[in-house]
Structures are given as structure tokens and as C-alpha cells.
Structure 1
Amino acid sequence: MLGFQPYETFQLLIETGGVDRTNTLLIAACDAYARRGKPTLPEMEQFETLAARLFPTAGPQARAKGAAILGRAELLSPKLEQLVVENIGEDLIAFLEGAPELSDQTMLDIIGRYDVLACATLAGRDGLSNVVLAKLFQMNSRKVYRALAANQHIVPRGAYLSALARSAQMDHMVAEALGQRSDFDAALLAPAFFDLSDAHRLKVIHAFAHRSTPVAPIARTIEQISVASAELTKALMKLFSENRRPEVTRLLAQITGLDEVRCGQIAHDVTGASLFVILRAFGATAYDGLKVLIHATSHDYDRSKALADFASLFGNVSPESMAYLMSAWRGEVNLLELSKPQYQPFTATSRRTPGLAPAHNPVVDQAIEALARIGARRAS
């Protein structure tokens, strides 16, 4: 077999040589098979029969070593994969990561054992069948979902999209992984908004640009307050300019219905992303909104670039969509409705279509510079 010993000789040695001889034969046979390259079907079937006799008879260390060697073979049948998985021991994860191909049956057997680390490794592989994916998505494991969220070979749609969106609400690492994907609708990360990095918070807001949304439950409350939008922005600017953020927290709690902990996060968010959502939801214009953001945001980074981005968002994002985002924070909406055709963005970014952030705009720059010169002493 395999060009170095007849099969009958192996059988005789197994029967008469004892455990030590079997250990040697197992490692030699696995090494010969791994070096063979791509075996023929008769060779594979013959080796399956031999390996099925050698593995149970050999000692634990020899089984683990033989399985590790066999795992490097170019082609394994499902039966040989099963022998590797059952005997490889601590090297199982390395095998699952490096194996060029794995049969569905092998993967389903591993999932059936509920070995979380092994299942998470499988969830990161490419070429997973729908049968395997369905089983992985049924697992209640953060590690598995983190791997699924980061796997660019899995298209987030249908039931997979729903499962990933729900998982993002419970695990910030899943939300962050999904935020890095270009094929995932960042608007679905709205409930995890405060767990995201600064860049991904802005990405969520951008996802609502040029987009219709269902009517938000909070819309009626906002209508009652929006008539006093100028007074609201004036009050916020004064409070932020005097660094009275606890009072900002209480004011936001009164007008938004969000709990004080969440409003405290908004009041102390020096990036301005969450405050922008509030301002735009209540109908603030770019001019009034930027005046508030100038006093609320940190001075430790390039503020002009950030404010220019917010200036474009005031023009591209509707108050209705930000009201919907606020309702998502309150857990009042089903975000999966956004996957319906009528709620898809009106425009798509392409080579001919500029992104949501505008190119260098002297008018916007001049407005920001003028607003930046407004000192705290002039806030009233």
C-alpha cells in the first residue's frame, strides 16, 4: 500500500507486533499517506481500513501524533477526517483552521459535540454550506457569533441578517465586527450605538442619510417640542458652554424619554455623534446645531473636519430618520423593517456618485470658522 508495504504485511504486523509495533506502524502509515499527495480512490479506501485498525489499538500519544500528521494530508475522506478529529487532541483547532476542505458531516459532528472553540473556528471558515451555517446560527454562543459576524464569506441576508442584528444588540464585539463590513446595513446597529467606536457611530448615522423610515413612536412628542427648536438649541449651547452637563442630562431625559443613564452618556459624548441625533431629531438646522456641537465636542482633535462632517449630515439626514433612531434606542421599533425596499437609501455610493460627506466646501468652512469664534462668554 502507498508504495512501501503491502496491505497484508501491515495486517500481520498489527496482529503479532503488540502496542509498540502498532504505534510505530500508525505513525509511519499516516506519514506515508500525508506524503503521498492526492491518493487514488482505491488507495484512500485501503488506508481507511488500515487506519480504522491502527488507531484503536495504538497508545494515546501515538494516536494524537498520527492524527496530527494525517491532518496535513492533501485529501481526506469523511471517515479519515473523523479519525483525525477524534484522536488529534489539543491540535484540533489548528487542524480545523488549516484543513483545505472539511466535509459537512465532520463539521456537523463537531457542532453536535457543542465544542464552542471548535465551532467558532468552523464559523470563520469559507465555503460553509447552508446546512452547516444553519446549525452554527442556532448555537447560543458569543464566540461563535463573533466569528460569524467577522466572516466576510457569509452574506448577511434573510434569517442570517436577523440573527446577526439581534446578536449585535447583546454583544458589542459582534456589533463592532459588523460595523467593519461594507455589506451590512449599519442602520441595523442602532440599538448598539453606544457600544460602538466613534467611527462606527458616525457610520450608523450615515446609514440613515437619504432614507425613508417608518413613522417613529416618538414622533408625536417631538412635534410638540420642535416648535421650540431654537429655544432648545439655545439652552443646550448655554449649558454646554458653561460645562453644566448634569443639567444637560436632566434636560435630555425630560424631552426624549430616555433614561438618565443614557442621557448622561449623550451629555458626556465628546464626539458629538449621539448629540447630533437628538438635535436633528428635534429639527435643529445646521447653523444652530453646529453652535451646540462646537461647545459640546472635544477640542483634542481636528474639530473642523468633524464639524464639516456633521454639517453635511444636517443636510443629508432627515429629522424623521433621527427620530426613528431615537426610538430604536428606546426599543420601540423593529429595525429589520429597514430591509424592506421602500426603506432602502435613495442613493448608492459609486464612482460617479460622491459619498455622503461633501468635498471641500469653502462656504461650510467659513461658517465653521465663524461659529468657532463664538466664545462661551457670548453664549446666551
Structure 2
Amino acid sequence: MLGFQPYETFQLLIETGGVDRTNTLLIAACDAYARRGKPTAPEMEQFEALAGRLFPIASANARAKGAAILGRAEVLSPALERLVVDNIGEDLNTFLSGARELSETTLIDIIARYEVSSAALIAARPDLSNVVLAKLFQMNSRKVYRALAANTAIAPRGAYLSALARSAQMDHLVAEALARRDDFDTALLAPAFFDLSDDHRIKVIQAFANRETPAAPIKKTIEQLTVANAELTKALMKLFSENRRPEVTRLLSQITGLDEVRCGQIAHDVTGASLFVILRAFGCSAYDGLKVLIHATSHDSERSKALADFATLFGNVSPDAMAYLMSAWRGEVNLLELAKPQHKPFSEQPVRRPARTLAPAHNPVVDQAIEALARIGVRRAS
């Protein structure tokens, strides 16, 4: 069989050779099968019978070595996969990473053992069935969910979308993995906003562009303060220009209803992303909002580009959308409502095109804001 002694000879050697010879035969047979390439159906059937006799009576070391060799084979039947998994020992994760194909039964059996490291490797595979995915999503493991979040072969829809969005609220690494994906609605990462990197915070805001959002509970509070909009921007600009961020924290806490810790994060966020949310939610225009952001942010050589990006966002993101994002920070909304068709982003809007063709350093809204600050003489860096 398989290029060397016939099956009957193996049977005779097993019966008369003892453990040492069994060990040798097991390793030799596994090596021959692994080198075979794609075996025929009769060859696989014969090897299954042979391996089924050899593995139980070989020593532990020989079983592990034989299983490791067998795991490198191009094609394994479910029965052979089971022999590998049951005997490979510490090399199981290597097998899971390298195997081209694995049967659903084998994967489910491994998941049932609740070995988190092995389950996480399975979660990263591109060939998972719905049954296997359902088992993985039932596991209460951050490591598994991080692998699922990074696996672009898994479409984030339905129950999977809900599970990933909930996990992102509890694990910033899951949130970062989802933010890197092009097929995930980053608006659902609003509760994890402050755990995300600077670029991904902007992605969350951009996900609300040209989008109808459900009514935000915080909207009534904001409406009561909009009459003092001009006074608000003046106060914030003055406080940021004098680097009085603790006072900014107290002011934001009074007007937003957010807790003081969250307001402190906003006040000290030198990227300006979270402050943009507040300013736009209260209806600030690009002209007034940028005057505040210039003092609140620290972009150095990239300041013009960052401010141009914010100018575009002022045009594309509605106050209602940012009010909804603030309500998400307060845990007052069910973000999965955004997955409904009526709350999906509008199709490509022509309003976005000028922002792509306009050089950041020559955005007129940015230039106007900077010129206004120059005139009033309060352009002190924060």
C-alpha cells in the first residue's frame, strides 16, 4: 500500500512486532500517506483501517509524532482528522493553522472542548459553516471574538452583527478590528468611540454623514441651549485659548448631561474628534466650530489637513446625527436601529466631491476661521 509493503504485511507486523515495531510502522505509514498527495478512495479507506489499528497501541510519543506528520497531508477524511486531533497533543494549534480544509464535525468537536486558543484559531479560518460560526459566537471569550471581528470572510449581518457590536462595547481590540473593516458600519462603534484610535474616531463620525438617524433623547436638552450657541462657542474658544481644560470639563458636564469623566476626555482630546461631536450636535457651523477646534487641537504640520477634514464633516454631518451619537455615549439608544433601511447612509452624494478635489491647505472655510482668529488676536496655541 502507498508505494511500499501491502496492507496484509502491515497487519502481520502489527500482530507480531510489539510496541516498538508498532511505533515505527505508525510513523512510517503516516509519512507515506502525507507524501502521497491526493490518495484514491480505496487507498484512503485502507489507511483509515491501518491507522485505526496503529494509533491505539502505539506509545504516546509515537502517537503525537505520527499525528503531527499525518496533519500535513493534503487530504484527510473526517476519521483521519479525528485521529490527528485526538493524538497530536501540543501541536493541535499548528495543525489548525496549517490545515487547508477541516470538516464541520471536527471543528465542532474541538470547539466543544472549550479550548480558547484552539477556538480562536478556528474563528480565523475562511471556510467556516453557519453551524460552526453559531458555536463560536456562543463562546464567552474575548480572544475568540477578536478573531471573529478580524475575519473578513464572515459577513457582519443579522445575529452576527449584533454580537460583534455588543462585543466591541466591552473590548477595544474588537472595536479596533471592526473599525479596520470596510464592510462594517462603524457608526455601531459609537459606544467604543473613546477606545478607538484617532483615525477610527473620524471613521465613526463619517459613518453618520448623509444619514437619517432615529430621534435622540438628548435632543430636547440641546434645543433648550441652542439660543446661547454663540455664547457657547465664545466661551469654549476663550477657555481653550487659555488652556483651561478643567473648566471646559465642567462646562461640558453642565450642558451635555454626560458624566464628568467623559467630559474630561472630550476636553483633553487634542484630536478634536469628540469636541466636533459636541459642537455639531449643538448646531455650530463650520465657521464658528473651527474657531474652537483651532485652539482645542494640536496637529502641528497636519493642522490644515485636519481642519479641512472637520470643515467637510461640518457640511456632511447633521446636528441630529451628532446628537444621536452623544445619546449613544450615554447609553440611551439602541444602535442596531441604524441597520434598518431607513437609517442607512444615503447613496453617493455630490456634496462630498468638492472636499476631495480641494487642497486641504486652501479650504475656504478653514481660511476664513483662521483669518477671523487673526483679527481678534487670540490665536494662542493650547
What TM-score comes out, normalization by structure 1 length? Answer: 0.96
Three-state SS of the structure 2 residue aligned to 1:376 is: coil
Determine the C-alpha separation between the residues in 2 that align with 1:87 and 1:378.
Answer: 69
Three-state SS of the structure 2 residue aligned to 1:32 is: helix
**Residue correspondence of structure 1 range 51-62 to structure 2 within 5 A:** 51-62=51-62
- Mapped contact 2:338–2:344 kept (Cα < 8 A): yes
| Residue matched to 2:371 | 370
- Mapped contact 1:216–1:333 kept (Cα < 8 A): yes
Determine the C-alpha separation between the residues in 1 that align with 2:242 and 2:379.
Answer: 9
> Number of residue pairs matched?
377
Structure 1: which 4+ aligned runs deviate by more than 4 Å? 352-357
Letter in 2 for 1:195: D
Three-state SS of the structure 2 residue aligned to 1:63 is: helix
| Residue matched to 1:234 | 234
| Residue matched to 1:90 | 90
Tell me by how many angstroms 1:225 deviates.
Answer: 0.5
Please list the CA deviations of residues 305-358 of structure 1 after superposition, one character each: whole Å capped at 9, or x if unmatched.
000000010110000000000000000000000000110111238xx9956944
| Residue matched to 2:244 | 244
Structure 1 range deviating more: 87-96 or 218-227: 87-96
Tell me by how many angstroms 1:359 deviates.
Answer: 2.4
Tell me by how many angstroms 1:365 deviates.
Answer: 4.8
Tell me by how many angstroms 1:366 deviates.
Answer: 2.7
Tell me by how many angstroms 1:229 deviates.
Answer: 0.7
Identity %: 78
Tell me by how many angstroms 1:149 deviates.
Answer: 0.4
Structure 1 residue 125 corresponds to structure 2 residue 122? no
- Mapped contact 2:2–2:36 kept (Cα < 8 A): yes
- Mapped contact 1:19–1:58 kept (Cα < 8 A): yes
Structure 1 range deviating more: 340-349 or 168-177: 340-349
| Residue matched to 1:5 | 5
Determine the C-alpha separation between the residues in 2 that align with 1:171 and 1:284.
Answer: 33
Three-state SS of the structure 2 residue aligned to 1:293 is: helix
**Residue correspondence of structure 1 range 308-327 to structure 2 within 5 A:** 308-327=308-327
Determine the C-alpha separation between the residues in 1 that align with 2:275 and 2:379.
Answer: 22
Give the superposed CA RMSD.
1.7
- Mapped contact 1:107–1:132 kept (Cα < 8 A): yes
Letter in 1 for 2:144: V
Three-state SS of the structure 2 residue aligned to 1:227 is: helix
Identify unmatched segments of 5+ residues in structure 1.
none
Determine the C-alpha separation between the residues in 1 that align with 2:380 and 2:59.
Answer: 83
Three-state SS of the structure 2 residue aligned to 1:38 is: coil
Determine the C-alpha separation between the residues in 2 that align with 1:375 and 1:13.
Answer: 96
Letter in 1 for 2:326: M
| Residue matched to 2:17 | 17
| Residue matched to 1:204 | 204
| Residue matched to 2:265 | 265
Determine the C-alpha separation between the residues in 1 that align with 2:106 and 2:81.
Answer: 7
Tell me by how many angstroms 1:300 deviates.
Answer: 3.2
Residue 365 and residue 250 in structure 1: after superposition, are their counterparts in 2 closer, same or farther (change >3 A)? closer
